A and B are shown apart, each in its own frame.
Chain A
Amino acid sequence: MLAPPLASAWAHPSLELHHCRALKSGKVTPPRSRFTVTHQILWRSSVPIGARKKTRAHVIAPGKSPCSDSAATMRQNNSITQETQEGPRLRKYAWDTNEEYLFKAMVAFSMRKVPNRETTEISHVLLCNVTQRVSFWFVVTDPSKTHTLPAVEIQSAIRMNRNRINNAFFLNDQTLEFLRIPSTLAPPTDPPVPIWIIIFGVIFCIVIVATMLLILSGIQQHRRKNEGPSEMEDTEDKCENTITVENGIPCDPLDMKGGHINDAFMTEDERLTPL
């Protein structure tokens, strides 16, 4: 039988309760956003913890921590930089108070970017229920520290600066998950001309050029071969003429040829030369 998980040294009950109790007398507060750093790649929290928030009562009962409602749960996943071929070797993200401070600073920074919240201080951000999973809730109070800000506002502020927050911790959308804040997926880059058409065009042109060259050289060879036999045919025709002249009565052709040459010799030569 395995022992239950050890109590973590990461939670600082005294610190959080002090802050959380300060809000005992708060007014009606809407549910806060819950933010979770999730474990690993490819996994989104579908744990219905967020659902709890929606139906919670707004009034903070005395003695009860307001963080029990909502807050972002930050769940820290092992950084994926340690993944090796043997499988992801999980490295624990060292979470301590300084990291908490950085987190609070990032949340405050995000809130300051919202138009009428420029005065948000780090002390206005409260973390509660920090677990060993590195999962916690957080709320942001207004400057008077009387009530917490609406979850929707915090969610939109964090969504605007998600990249900065991720980079501050060297994490990404998968390893630092905010529950209830879906990440905007980056669309794949679309170059103006699809790459494959460029490569297709190059290879197409090469093939066409090579085909044309081969066809043209084939035609040239064909023509050269045709000229060779056609020369042979001309001389053979002459042979034929003189032969027929020889066979027939040598009158007119002899006149045409200019008579004093012995046709027999002529035909012999002409018959032989083409070969």
Chain B
Amino acid sequence: MEKARPLWATPLQFVFACISYAVGLGNVWRFPYLCQMYGGGSFLVPYIVMLIVEGMPLLYLELAVGQRMRQGSIGAWRTISPYLSGVGVASVVVSFFLSMYYNVINAWAFWYLFHSFQDPLPWSVCPVNGNRTGYDEECEKATSTQYFWYRKTLNISPSIQENGAVQWEPALCLILAWLLVYLCILRGTESTGKVVYFTASLPYCVLLIYLIRGLTLHGATNGLVYMFTPKMEQLANPKAWINAATQIFFSLGLGFGSLIAFASYNEPSNDCQKHAIIVSLLNSSTSIFASVVTFSIYGFKATFNYESCLNKVILLLTNSFDLEDGFLTASNLEQVKGYLASAYPSKYNEVFPQIKNCSLETELDTAVQGTGLAFIVYTEAIKNMEVSQLWSVLYFFMLLMLGIGSMLGNTAAILTPLTDSKAISSYLPKEAISGLVCFVNCAIGMVFTTEAGNYWFDIFNDYAATLSLLLIVLVETVAVCYLYGLRRFESDLRAMTGRKLSWYWKAMWAGVSPLLIVSLFVFYLSDYIMTGTLRYQAWDASEGQLVTKDYPPYALAIIGLLVASSTMCIPLVALGTFITRCLKRGDTVPGA
């Protein structure tokens, strides 16, 4: 008796699963950075163009393939062409790498969440030094939020060569994160389908609350105005367009096999075109929504720092010159400085080196992305808000939901091919396979909890998925259009869903999107080649800031291995299939 393939209980669960997977941390911490760097409001132009030209067609393609083939990535591509199951294997390998390092972010989010239930927040004050006369030296040089991140959370070593030991606190949080992921994927679509209701909707609730709070903060408008003012000249900068394309590509999570896996649990008659459009539109609007929140928080933080700086200068001058209290204000500061310089020149020269030039623009100009934004800049802004514990809990809870939602997709990409294969699923039940995958990932993930773990995390983050995904999606598009045949695929879709395929999709799949991907690929390769040696940012505890260092040779070898292990799957498996077929043909011919 053939076991029926598990299905989503309602199409809504499928949509929520896709949204929960696509809307992830990148929307919160990468898009605002890009928006700021490439012209503020004018970045939206290349972003939306790329969404329509690249994002929607490729998303629709993946969902359609999954829904048509009704198998995980390996099985689906094997059905399209036996030589192409390497694409599926490459997707699984990339998803495996991703799930290894991505869950560490959830572990960090747990760590910060657990520490948010204290008064005062531990990252808002520096610890005092041994004889209680001052603050800890590293904390003085850096800020308290940086100190908490680099010293208390990561306990980072000065370079990637110094590995250090596994830190038990992040290790515990990592184990908890994996247990939570296991709990969610334990029963397959049955459990995942219920969990995605929360992981998809709760981040929006928190973002909405933060939007209201953010817009009412003092100085929020400074940030919004500064960031969103369009700088039209950036439209001519090719980097803006390339980054828009890259952001759309990676934000939707194409090429990992997760979308194929999710779509394979659909009813064949499901209207995946509508869902593709909905998911991609929601993903992009969430990015824009999150950047409004982020910029208002930036504005608040910058204004706060600017005013603190001004107050320090006022204090310094008032004390040095014994001025009347309240005499110096922000508005008359420059005039009084001029007067003091002329009236008491010698004293003024003494004090002058300590007077800092406070500028709101320099504060706003600090553009941060990635874990630095989430765990340093945001926490700095939160600690200055009222009832900061509440805002902190909400924020890290949202990060957790976003991260777990993406993890569900990643693990689905690994598990669906495994549970589809008869060889493995006949030996082990689904729960055992999931448990094994989670256990292996958790054990390898302990590397990221060592003292040099953050440097390895950066390696994986920058190199594990980027080039390989571009290649995978390129091969996917070319395979569907030219190997399987666009007309054959079109008639399959019409038989499945009952809708005719629009000319727009055909044009995009056959022509525009592959060209775009090829250009992105060429750009990335040339970028890597031109920069020569790869470098990374290391934390210098004595200086209290980041310094740039070169990767040692073995790290470079591992980077090469990461990229090669996924990209080489495609040709190697094709070659292997070819050889086995030749051998089989050689065997059968004498027999016939």
Contacts and interface: CB of A to CB of B under 8 A. Distances in A.
B132 A2 contact: no
B115 A196 contact: yes
Contacts of B2: none
A119 interface: no
B302 to A, nearest CB: 14
B463 interface: no
A218 interface: yes
A210 to B, nearest CB: 6
A13 interface: no
Given A86-B218, A195-B118, A218 B431 contact: yes
Interface string A32-69: 00001011101101110000000000000000000000
Interface stretch (A4-12, A109-117, A149-157, A252-260): A4-12
B398 to A, nearest CB: 17
Interface in B46-77: none
Contacts of B339: 1-2
A199 B182 CA distance: 20
Nearest to A42: B312
B369 interface: no
B128 A131 contact: no
Nearest to B177: A207
B335 A43 contact: no
A169 interface: no
Main secondary structure of the interface of B (DSSP, over half): helix
Interface in A56-109: 75-78, 85-88, 90, 92-93
B187 A38 contact: no
Interface of A: 1-2, 4-6, 8, 36, 38-40, 42-43, 45-47, 75-78, 85-88, 90, 92-93, 131-135, 182, 184-188, 195-197, 199-200, 203-204, 207-208, 210-211, 214-215, 218, 222
B327 A208 contact: no
B326 interface: yes
A6 B325 CA distance: 12
A133 B133 contact: no
A88 B311 contact: yes
Interface of B: 110-111, 113-115, 117-118, 120, 122, 125, 127-128, 132-135, 172-173, 176, 179-180, 182-183, 186-187, 191, 218, 307-308, 311-312, 314-316, 318-320, 322-327, 330, 332, 335-336, 339, 343, 354, 429, 431
A203 B176 contact: yes
Contacts of B308: 42
B125 to A, nearest CB: 6
A133 B135 contact: no
B321 to A, nearest CB: 8
B312 A185 contact: no
B324 A78 contact: no
B327 A39 contact: no
Contacts of A211: 179, 182-183, 186
Given A188-B127, A211-B179, A218-B187, A39 B325 contact: yes
A182 to B, nearest CB: 6
